[in-house]
A and B are shown apart, each in its own frame.
Chain A
Amino acid sequence: MTALKPLGRAILFALIGFLIGAGLSAALVEAAGRDEMKEPIIAGGYMFALIGWLFGVGVWGSWVREWFGATVKPFHIEGWGRYLGFSTDHKVIGVQYGVTTIVIFLLAGALALLMRIELADANSTLLSRTDYNTVMGLHGIMMIAVAVAALMGGFANYVMPLMIGADDVAFPRLNALSFWIVPPVAVLLILTPLFGGMDTGWTGYPPLSSQGPTGNLLFLMAFTTFGLSSILGGLNFLATIITMRAPGMTWSRIPIFVWAVFAASLISLTATQFVAYALLMVIFERVFGMHFFDGTIGGDAILFEHVFWFYSHPAVYVMILPAFGIELEILSHFARKPVFAYKWVVRAFFSIVGLSFVVWAHHLFTSGMSSELHGPFMVLTELISIPTGVVFLAAVGTIWRGRLWLKTPMLFAMGVIANFLIGGLTGLYVADVVTDLNFQDTYFVVAHFHYTIVGGEIFALMGAIYYWYPKITGRMYSERLGRIHFIGMMVLYNVTFIPMFIVGAQGMNRRVADYPAEFENLNMFITVSSLLLGLAFIPFVYNMVNSWIRGRKAGDNPWGARTLEWQTTSPPPEENFETQPVVVEDPYGYGDPDAKHFEFPSGSGHVAEPAGGDD
């Protein structure tokens, strides 16, 4: 029961906060003589509720008290209970993020299936058009949150400090804060249907988002809050990688995944602030009656689109860069070969980061922005193909003439190559202005971005889950179920999304519950295969839960991998390594009998089991 205390206190504080905030706002609204306005009360209440929640869950007790000279009580609970409170251990936070994002992923996946069932026939039957919009928007924003937070919040948090031989991240309390900001986001999103739903999709373009149901306000506040979490995470990872590397871990020796996290963090830290401003301005439109984006009263709707995509394009690289990192990491360890062209890949990552900031307006080719901008943004966008191509070459070069060990993580990593190939190549058509004039806002785009986010990142996420599962849980998953999951997901995923390219090219636009009856056959096909795709996740969930409880002990290094996270116990002790490892070379010395990534100062430290373990 003590484990639940912080949560109970947090909920209580949140409620008290809400009442205070709502009361104050109501008084202000009353004083201004605008009794009809409800949204300021909700927004004010939420702001205080958020603060109350964070204070209650542990920010007060283990952080803020210090500012007033009082002693802080570090959070210390053994066993499962530690996952329910304000723990500052990056491994606990990684698991908190990981489990939360997987749950949201499954929920949002269920929403996707609901949409697909609605789309089985041409009319709106199951869902009204309003409800469809809500379901679609919630699926979108929840999945975006998963895509941004699962690899970065979950795996980068858990694994990155271990990989660089650190005992934690640079700012452990900030790390906990950035996780505990996420549950309020989920609560807001789950409440939107009770407030009239949302009708803007995850992009929330005004003037639509500054009108319409109060659900839109909840969505805007959720997105803004989530942005704060990502900014803090990015800051923390950068500081960690810069300052906490083990002795000898020079920049040319850090694992490729760590480079990917570094590059992605640069984007999270800087770009997210822009979308937060844009969303806040829409919130101000709703709450204070301002008009930034309404062209009929002196505002400009296209301005929002620019600022929104100034974040949201780079954000896709927050999703895909860590996925590239994981892909290459897994390929190397399971092909028993060094990451091919390591330095070129690092250069490619940073070229991608740089270019990602100057291509946003490719989302605006049909927006009515000045057509002089079309050419430059098209050219810049297509340039990204060059560094992305380098990542492909590295992937193929890594497995080429290797000794491929086709375990589940490896299967998923190779799935990323195949799927992201389709995602990347179809990107050409939406980067080219002329073809985009047709494809923009059709199912072609829907297929394209699912190929990048699901085919690229979610496949990498699955690979990461299987790869680090034995490290995190100390137990081995069932290889058979893992393979069934992979084959089911790979086949059905492609069968579901390839037809979306076709139906889009034939003229079906997106974000619709009704469509011309001509498209019914293809849509029926997509719906059936998406339902089967949903079934492919049953062995996954079963495997994860069952193996955590009953799986056999995995050993410290079941994959015989050379990076540091495998050179400590599974799961690692709270301080990560019993003695500080010293790094002597990069971790990819496969095939070289003299290669050695690290050493533990002699006579001390945990000696890992020899590579292999028992399988």
Chain B
Amino acid sequence: MINRDTVTVAIIWIIATVAVEIAFSFVDLFPAAASEEAVIVDDAFYFLTYIAIPVFTFILVALSYSIIKFRSRPADDGGPPEDGPPQRTHNAWVRGWMLVTSALVVTVIIHPGLTGLWEMDEAANKDLDFVVKVTGVQWAWSFNYPDQNITSPELVLPNDTHVRFDVTAVDVVHSFWVPAFRTKIDAVPGLTTEIHANITETGNYDDDINFRVQCAELCGREHAIMQSPVRVVERAEFNEWVLSKQ
């Protein structure tokens, strides 16, 4: 099965793959990452993309090449062209292909799949600075800081801390998502779910809309605007804010 067509396709494929990989390395899709978790998520995305690109280019190159090279004129009476070769299968190709795709699948299962989970776990097991209790109700969020003993409609957090969010809902399922932190967890009535953020960057909603708590599970009429602003500030400023609230 090595012939001029396969060789040409292989060469075009390699060139296309390199070109797309290089082009992709300039792409910056995501907004600012404000937590360690966000970096894990973005890295996983880029890794997956680098793995996916060769598969993508392989199929597209083979397809485009076939369209250009193997296109045939219909028979004189307008019927189908004459038959192609009676090639039914080629077990070496099938086995080789399955070996390669399986290897790729195992790779992405291990990394970023399982390592990603493990990194998330590691981040969650770091020393905890404090807990915020998050409650969703149609259609607003409220944030309770048990250590500081305050409740606020705005989520204010100190930079360089590890925060756990204990999330629940009163009426229907909502979902707690801060795009700048990349992770989300549903707020389920009768259940407390949790996610963590190891915060690394300051920022606030007025400058970057990804510093927002966005409900990410359809919860009825005002779901779209079930948002709260998020402010990540330096420790001192946070302490002041707490004092002003108490």
Which A positions have Cβ atoms within 8 angstroms of B? 124, 129-130, 132-133, 199-201, 203, 205-208, 211-212, 294-297, 299-302, 333-338, 340-344, 366-368, 374-375, 378-379, 382-383, 385-386, 389-390, 392-393, 396-397, 399-406, 414, 417-418, 421-422, 425, 428-429, 432-435, 437-438, 440-442, 502, 505-507, 509, 511-516, 518, 558-560, 588-592, 595, 611-615
* A294 lies within 8 A of B189 (CB): yes
B216 within 8 A of partner (CB): yes
* B94 lies within 8 A of A393 (CB): yes
For B150, list chain A residues within 8 Å (CB). none
* B189 lies within 8 A of A296 (CB): yes
* B188 lies within 8 A of A301 (CB): yes
The one of B41, B60, B79, B209 in contact with A418, judged by C-beta atoms closer than 8 angstroms, is B60
* B216 lies within 8 A of A405 (CB): no
* B186 lies within 8 A of A378 (CB): no
Having A208-B172, A212-B220, A337-B86, one finds 11 other A-B pairs with CB under 8 Å, namely A129-B221, A295-B190, A296-B170, A342-B88, A399-B63, A437-B183, A437-B184, A438-B179, A441-B217, A505-B45, A591-B86
In the complex, what distance in Å separates the CA atom of A333 from the CA atom of B41? 44
The one of B66, B113, B222 in contact with A400, judged by C-beta atoms closer than 8 angstroms, is B66
The one of B86, B102, B119, B210 in contact with A386, judged by C-beta atoms closer than 8 angstroms, is B102
* A368 lies within 8 A of B79 (CB): no
The one of B52, B78, B84, B108 in contact with A336, judged by C-beta atoms closer than 8 angstroms, is B84
Q: Which of B14-22, B68-76, B128-136, B237-245 contacts A (4 or more CB under 8 A)?
A: B68-76
Minimum distance in angstroms from B80 CB to a CB of chain A:
4
For B88, list chain A residues within 8 Å (CB). 338, 340-342, 588
* B113 lies within 8 A of A432 (CB): yes
Minimum distance in angstroms from A316 CB to a CB of chain B:
19
In the complex, what distance in Å separates the CA atom of A343 from the CA atom of B102? 19
Minimum distance in angstroms from A102 CB to a CB of chain B:
27
* A382 lies within 8 A of B113 (CB): yes
CB-defined A-B contacts under 8 Å, sample of 9: A129-B221, A301-B173, A301-B189, A368-B188, A402-B85, A417-B63, A433-B116, A612-B77, A613-B78
* B112 lies within 8 A of A432 (CB): yes
In the complex, what distance in Å separates the CA atom of A391 from the CA atom of B125? 42
The one of B45, B62, B81, B209 in contact with A405, judged by C-beta atoms closer than 8 angstroms, is B81
* A425 lies within 8 A of B186 (CB): no
* B45 lies within 8 A of A386 (CB): no
B40 within 8 A of partner (CB): yes
Shortest 10 CB-CB contacts between residues of A and residues of B = A295-B190, A612-B79, A615-B78, A591-B86, A434-B116, A368-B193, A512-B224, A507-B179, A402-B84, A389-B101
Contacts A399-B66, A400-B66 given; indicate if A374 touches B117 (C-beta within 8 A): yes
The one of B72, B102, B214, B219 in contact with A403, judged by C-beta atoms closer than 8 angstroms, is B72
* B220 lies within 8 A of A199 (CB): yes
What 0/1 pattern do residues 22 to 65 of B give for CB contact below 8 A with A?
Answer: 00000001110000010011001100100110011001101100
* B72 lies within 8 A of A433 (CB): no
B246 within 8 A of partner (CB): no
Minimum distance in angstroms from B168 CB to a CB of chain A:
9
In the complex, what distance in Å separates the CA atom of A342 from the CA atom of B113? 32
* A367 lies within 8 A of B117 (CB): no
B114 within 8 A of partner (CB): yes
B89 within 8 A of partner (CB): yes
Minimum distance in angstroms from A470 CB to a CB of chain B:
13
* A611 lies within 8 A of B30 (CB): no
In the complex, what distance in Å separates the CA atom of A375 from the CA atom of B212? 29
Minimum distance in angstroms from A521 CB to a CB of chain B:
14
In the complex, what distance in Å separates the CA atom of A105 from the CA atom of B217? 26
For B170, list chain A residues within 8 Å (CB). 296
In the complex, what distance in Å separates the CA atom of A125 from the CA atom of B209? 21
* B48 lies within 8 A of A435 (CB): yes
Contacts A397-B93, A505-B29, A612-B77 given; indicate if A208 touches B219 (C-beta within 8 A): yes
In the complex, what distance in Å separates the CA atom of A399 from the CA atom of B74? 16
Contacts A368-B188, A441-B184, A505-B30 given; indicate if A205 touches B173 (C-beta within 8 A): yes
In the complex, what distance in Å separates the CA atom of A205 from the CA atom of B143? 25
In the complex, what distance in Å separates the CA atom of A379 from the CA atom of B105? 9
* A589 lies within 8 A of B84 (CB): no
For A302, list chain B residues within 8 Å (CB). 188, 191
For B97, list chain A residues within 8 Å (CB). 389-390, 393
In the complex, what distance in Å separates the CA atom of A397 from the CA atom of B85? 12
* B216 lies within 8 A of A612 (CB): no
* B70 lies within 8 A of A390 (CB): no
The one of A335, A341, A435 in contact with B44, judged by C-beta atoms closer than 8 angstroms, is A435
The one of B31, B40, B190, B215 in contact with A507, judged by C-beta atoms closer than 8 angstroms, is B31
In the complex, what distance in Å separates the CA atom of A516 from the CA atom of B212? 10
For B217, list chain A residues within 8 Å (CB). 205, 441
* B214 lies within 8 A of A509 (CB): yes
* A208 lies within 8 A of B220 (CB): yes
* A432 lies within 8 A of B189 (CB): no
Interface residues of B in 140-155 (CB under 8 A from A): none
In the complex, what distance in Å separates the CA atom of A203 from the CA atom of B51? 32
The one of B62, B79, B90, B193 in contact with A615, judged by C-beta atoms closer than 8 angstroms, is B79
For B5, list chain A residues within 8 Å (CB). 400-401
Contacts A368-B191, A386-B102, A515-B224 given; indicate if A434 touches B112 (C-beta within 8 A): yes
The one of A199, A382, A434 in contact with B105, judged by C-beta atoms closer than 8 angstroms, is A382
What 0/1 pattern do residues 1 to 23 of B give for CB contact below 8 A with A?
Answer: 00001000000000000000000
Contacts A366-B184, A393-B94 given; indicate if A337 touches B48 (C-beta within 8 A): no
* A591 lies within 8 A of B83 (CB): yes
In the complex, what distance in Å separates the CA atom of A511 from the CA atom of B78? 49
In the complex, what distance in Å separates the CA atom of A375 from the CA atom of B118? 10
In the complex, what distance in Å separates the CA atom of A336 from the CA atom of B87? 10
* B218 lies within 8 A of A208 (CB): yes
In the complex, what distance in Å separates the CA atom of A591 from the CA atom of B80? 13
* A615 lies within 8 A of B74 (CB): yes
B185 within 8 A of partner (CB): yes
CB-nearest residue of chain A to B174: A208
Which of A133, A207, A375, A588 has the largest number of chain B CB atoms within 10 A?
A207
B162 within 8 A of partner (CB): no
In the complex, what distance in Å separates the CA atom of A147 from the CA atom of B87? 33
The one of A296, A374, A386 in contact with B190, judged by C-beta atoms closer than 8 angstroms, is A296
